[in-house]
Amino acid sequence: MGPAEAPAQAPTEPNLEAFEVLDLPDADAYRTGDGRPGPLYWQQEADYAIDVELLPEENRIEGTQTITYTNNAPSELNFLWVQMDQNLFAPGSRGEAVVPPDARFSGFFEGGGYDVSNLRIEHNGTMYTPEYVIDDTRLRVDLNAPLAAEGDSLALTMDFSFELPDYGADRMGMFDAEEGTVYQLAQWYPRMYVYDDVSGWNVLPYLGQGEYYLEYGQFDLDITVPHDFIVTATGALQNPDEVLTDTQQERLADARASRSPVTIIADEEVGDPDTRPVSSGTLTWQYQADDVRDVAWAASRSFIWDAARADAGTHTVLAQSLYPAEGLGGGENSTPGWEESTEYVQHSVEFYSERYTPYPYDNAVNVGGIVAGMEYPQVMFCSVDARGRGLFGVTDHEFGHTWFPMLVGSDERRWAWMDEGLNTFMNLYSTADFYGQDIERVIRQSSQQAARFAQSSLADQPIMTQADHIRRQALGMLAYRKPAVGLALLREHVVGPDRFDAAFKTYIDRWAYKHPQPSDFFRTIESVAGEELDWFWRGWFYETEGADPAVAEVNVDAATATIAQQTDLLLPVPVELTFDDGSTQMVRVPTEAFATGDTHTISWDEERTIDHITIDPQQMLPDVDRSNNAWTPSE
C-alpha cells in the first residue's frame, strides 16, 4: 500500500530536540522503567516515642524522645543524620542569612533554636553516649558500631527543649486570642533525615522555603499541658476518659454519626471549669499514629470545638474544627467564618476520597491560629482570619495535602511541585465542584495566568528548580499554579480524562507510603495512560516558554492553512474552521505534526468556502500572543 497523499509541507527548522527521550535516571531493581517501585525497593523506618510538656508561662517546650530507627538499606550505616528544624530560628542560622526578615518563611529571634542533652544510643544490647555534631539544622550522630544492612535497628534517645517563636516561618507559632494563646506546634521535635536509594542521606539544610522529606513510622506521643487546655494532635486519642468530660465524649460520639456539625465546646463554654475533668494541675494527652511521616499538635484554653462525620470509602472520618472566638464570622451580612470550617473539611475529605483514593485516617482536624496555611498528617493549620471562600480555599488545599505528601511521600525539600503542584491540580476540581463552577472556565483562567507568567521577568526558572532556589516571588507559580494547570491541560487536552485519571490514581496506589522521584511520576503517567510524553515534560517542567500557535498562511484556492508553532513549548493545536454557511469543523493538530518543522498544513473540502479560522477558540492553551490566532479574508 502506497503512502497517503498529504498537503505539501514547507521545510522549516525541525523540533527533534523537543521529542528526544527525556534524560531520566536509568531503571533498576529499586525503580522500574514503567514507574513502579522495583522488586528490591526498600526504605527506612523511624518510630518515635515522645514525651513533651508545654510551659505556657515561658512559651517553652521541654521533651524527651526515643527514635527506633530500622536500616532496611542494602548497606550498613556508620552514622545517622537528624533534622533540627527549630535551629532555623536561632541567631546566625543559615536560614537567617538567606531569608529576608520580613519574608513569609522568617521568624528568627534571640533565644531561638534547640537545647539538646543526654543523647544516647542503644544498639545490640549496649547503651552508650555517641560522638555527635550539630551544624545549623543538621545533627550528625556517629555510631560506635555500624548499623547492619537489611533490618538492623537501634534506639536514639535525647532530651530537647526550645523557646517557641511567635511566628515560626508560617508553619508554627502563637496566636494571642482573648481567651488564651493558641499554640500551633510543627517541626518541633528532632526528626530523622531520609536515607534512600537515590541520594543516600538527604541532608539539605532547612532554610524555610523548602519543605520536608520524612520517613514513615509509628508515633506514640504524650503531651502534658495545664489542666484547662484542649489539645488536638496527629493520631488517635488514647485516654479520652482522663482528658475529656463525659459530656464531651458523648458529643463526640454523636458527631461521629452526624452529617451536621455537633458542638463539642461552644463559644459560651470556653473557659468554663465544667469543660475540664479536673480543676488544677496538668493533664497528659496521649496520642498514637501509625504509618505517618510526621506529627503536629495544637493546644489552647480558647478553643471552640465542633465535629461531624465525613465518609471516605468504606470508613468514616471525624471531621473537626478547633478555633478561638476570633475566627467566628460576625453580623448577619458578614462573610461566614470558622463556624463553616467543618463543612469544608467534610467536602475535601469526601471529594478526594471518591475521586482518587479514600482518606487514610480516622480524624481530619482543622485548627485556626497564626499559621496562614500548613499541612500535617490529620491536622491542618489555617489562618484564624480566613473567611468564606478564602477559608474554603486554604482548608481544601491543606487537606488535599493528605494525598501529597502525607500518603505519597515525595521529597518536598527538592521538588516542591510534587506535592504543591499535584495538590493544586486536585484543588481546581474540588473548588469547581463545591461552588458549581465550570471547570473549563477555571482551567482557562489558570492557563491565562501561566501565559502571563511566561512573559514576566520571573519566567527564567523552570518548574524543576530545587525548592529553596526558586525566587520567592515565583514560588506560587512554579510550585503551585503552573504544574497544576499543566496537569489539567494534560488531562483535558492531551490524553483525555479517562486515561489520565487511571494513571494518576495508579501513581497514588503505587507510591502510597513510599518515596517517589519525578521520574517515577512521569513514567507512571506515560505507562498507564499509554502516551509518550517526553515532549510535554520537557516543555512544561524543564523549560520556561509559553505557547504561541499561529495561523501563518491561508491559501483559499487550495483550501489549506498553515499552522505554526512559534515557541519551543509544543502542545496539540485545536483549530476551528468556520464556513460561509455558518457550519464549523474542528481540526486537532497533534504535537507530533511539528516534529520535523515548526509548521503544519491542514486542509478542507475545496467545494466549501472558508469564512474564518480560529486557533484554540476555547482559549485553553497558555498562549502568549492571541493576536495571531485568527484569520479572516481580507476586504
Residues tagged in the binding site annotation for Zn(2+): 397, 401, 420
How far from chain centre, in Å, is Cα 247? Answer: 37
- Out of 189, 480, 526, 545, the active site residue is 480
Is 48 designated active site?
no
The DSSP call for residue 490 is I
How far from chain centre, in Å, is Cα 344? Answer: 18
Taken in order 291, 295, 299, 303, is the CA torsion positive or negative?
Answer: negative
Q: List beta partners, residue 67.
A: 48, 156
Q: ω into residue 405 within 30 of 0, thus cis?
A: yes
- Out of 340, 343, 398, 545, the active site residue is 398
Structure-block grid coordinates of residue 238: 488514647
Q: Which residues are documented as binding site? A: 397, 401, 420
Residue 403 has phi, psi (to 5 degrees) of -80, -35
Structure-block grid coordinates of residue 100: 529576608
Residue carrying C-alpha cell 491540580: 425
Taken as a whole, the chain contains a residue count of 635
Structure-block grid coordinates of residue 141: 550522630
The SS3 call for residue 102 is coil
Task: Please give the Cα distance from 193 to 235 (Å, whole number).
Answer: 22
Is 480 designated active site?
yes
- The Cα-based distances of 248 to 144, 229, 240, 263 in angstroms read 50, 14, 9, 9
- Whether 426 and 352 have beta carbons less than 8 Å apart is answered as yes
- Whether 38 and 26 have beta carbons less than 8 Å apart is answered as no
> Quick one: how many helices (H) and strands (E) in the chain?
12, 32
182-185 and 297-300 beta bridge pairing: antiparallel
The residues annotated as belonging to the active site are: 398, 480
